[in-house]
Structure 1
Amino acid sequence: MSFSLDELSSLVDFSQSSLTIALLAIAFNPTAWNIVAQNEYRNKTITRIFGGNSRYGCYFLAVMIFSFGILRDSLYHRALEGQPIKAILPEPFATIVPVALFIIGQTFVVTSTWALGVTGTFLGDYFGILMDHRVEGFPFNVLRDPMYVGSTMCFAAGALWYERPAGLLITIYVYIVYVIALRFEGPFTDMIYTKRAEERAKGSKKEI
């Protein structure tokens, strides 16, 4: 155990404030957007700010999520700069693996956004902007949550590219944060669409 602790302390500098800030930013994003979105579904707070226009409200939230995502990534890279450097993979894998991870990860993120559109990507269903049907094409035919998986892969790519073992620890943390966020986001989104389906079914019975 003492060896493991000594080894860990030589690979990760926990005294760096940039590391703490990055971890807080990583946890803040999915947590905050889940809270804001669920409040929007129940109380229409953002929609009311935009004069009852739910689409404008969703676009506003999209800008906020995207902006804070860029800030989070910037803080992550700043945290890596303050961490010890140690070769993680031998060449040529030290170059090939992170590049492949980044390309695949970005492919998942970009194609997810393309398939879902702005409102589908940035929690439009919480604003009452629901999709007509479940997206089943790529990348959703490969992964259930390709955007979160792709983002995690990009964090790992950064850690390997800059040869910061601390980055791999942060990547594990990112994965855990996303798993927790999905436990709240997934069931709530399913509830929204289930409720829509029930309302449509009731409407069909009335027409008959």
Structure 2
Amino acid sequence: MSATSFLSLVDWSQRSLWISVASIAFNPTAWNIVARNEYRNKTITRVFGGNARNGCYFLAVLIFSFGMFRDSLFQHALEDQPTQKILPEPLDTIVPAVLFVAGQTFVITSTWALGITGTFLGDYFGILMDHRVEGFPFNVLRDPMYIGSTMSFAAASLWFERPAGLLITLYVYIVYLVALRYEGPFTDMIYSNRASQNAESKKDL
């Protein structure tokens, strides 16, 4: 199938498509802005009386809730799009099922390994991990949560046989790559600053 014929299977006039696209971009963009502000100004921490952990839990609830809302908007967008046979039987059920299970495994196990504060930007609140997590799934993928989420988008698109969903999945992957370009260096800076502070503290002893 050519790119032109593939794009012709997308109903660009559907408002739900563009709402879904906007929500996908909103989430990582908003949380990066909020987290950077928290690192510099401690806005959420101050709202919770100086308790950084409670502030992080509050942000975790927001991120999780908006993530569920984004997924529901994506589901609605798929329902409004034309269907097209993408994979032959029985691959049309096997492939999306495997993708979904693998994707959710990466998401759940990475959350388990990092914990709530490690997953939901706790380092921006000053809640830093003592050691880098190197076990599964981080010994398989550098960013298992983002990859797992992308795989789940692809699984839903293939399961419901919506070519538009695969296009949105590609967009999701690009959005995550852009987000990582900002998240990664900033997080590295946070831990680098802690290392420098620890080194200074040892000198003063």
Match of 2:195 in 1: 197
Q: For residues 13-53 of structure 1, what are the alpha-carbon distances to aligned partners after superposition, in whole Å with 9 as ceiling and x for unaligned?
A: 01000000000000000000000000000000000111111
Q: Which amino acid aligns with 1:111?
A: T
> Take 1:193 and 1:7, find their aligned partners in 2: how far apart are those partners?
48
Cα gap change, 1:109 to 1:72, in 2 (>3 Å) = same
Aligned partner (choices 29, 34, 37) of residue 36 of structure 1: 34
Match of 2:175 in 1: 177
Cα pair 1:84 1:164 within 8 Å, conserved? yes
1:7 Cα deviation from its structure 2 partner: 1.6
Q: For residues 166-196 of structure 1, what are the alpha-carbon distances to aligned partners after superposition, in whole Å with 9 as ceiling and x for unaligned?
A: 0000000000000000000000000000000
Cα pair 1:10 1:84 within 8 Å, conserved? no
Q: For residues 34-89 of structure 1, what are the alpha-carbon distances to aligned partners after superposition, in whole Å with 9 as ceiling and x for unaligned?
A: 00000000000000111111001000000000000000000000000000100100
Q: How many residues align?
A: 205
Aligned structure 1 segments of 4 or more residues deviating by more than 6 angstroms? none
**For 1:42-191, what aligned pairs fall within 5 Å after superposition?**
42-191=40-189
> Take 2:176 and 2:62, find their aligned partners in 1: how far apart are those partners?
18
Cα pair 2:25 2:175 within 8 Å, conserved? yes
> Take 2:22 and 2:29, find their aligned partners in 1: how far apart are those partners?
11
1:9 Cα deviation from its structure 2 partner: 4.6
TM-score by length of 1: 0.96
Cα pair 2:6 2:163 within 8 Å, conserved? no
Structure 1: tracts of 5 or more residues without a match:
none
Q: Which amino acid aligns with 1:190?
A: D
Stretch moving more, 196-205 or 69-78 = 196-205
Cα pair 1:50 1:56 within 8 Å, conserved? yes
> Take 1:42 and 1:165, find their aligned partners in 2: how far apart are those partners?
42
> Take 2:109 and 2:147, find their aligned partners in 1: how far apart are those partners?
12
Structure 2: tracts of 5 or more residues without a match:
none
The CA RMSD over aligned residues, in Å, is 1.1
Match of 2:15 in 1: 17
1:5 Cα deviation from its structure 2 partner: 6.9
